[in-house]
Structure 1
Amino acid sequence: MEQIRHSYVDNGGLKLHVAEIGSGDSGVVIFLHGFPEIWYSWRHQMIAVADAGFRAIAPDFRGYGLSQQPPSRRSRPGRI
């Protein structure tokens, strides 16, 4: 069985965690978690989708899981 891979994407200075599995021969399925979940909530579905020939991608939203938390509004002078 293929393993879930983990990587990070830079998004405007924030490091966002992404979990993925599969080759994507049949397409891509993106799993988006809710509150207060993380990518791990989708792990079983991701494996099933990958076994069906799809590439499964599940990011952690900013401030969740292994993704960085954005700076607080108070730490950004001049912004509301």
Structure 2
Amino acid sequence: MSIPGLWKLLSGIRKDQSLTELAVCEGFEIQQHSSGVLIVGIDASPWMYAVQASMDHAWRKGASRAALGKNSEL
């Protein structure tokens, strides 16, 4: 799901920053009286769809469930 033109709209206010800089600045410097832990959420659904598609493709080509590996349903 995406919003057409969102990144173009936000390009004027973007700030390039490494994950290390983000963790130090937001996790430690700004939150000095808090836990100092930065929580990052990652949407893994694209990876899950890709894994599911590749396993389905292998299965359709004749690979057995055992050949697909441990916990292939995951």
Which bracket does the TM-score occupy, shorter chain normalised? Answer: under 0.3
Q: TM-score, normalised by structure 2?
A: 0.27
Higher RCO structure (Cα 8 Å, ≥6 apart): 1
More strand by share: 1
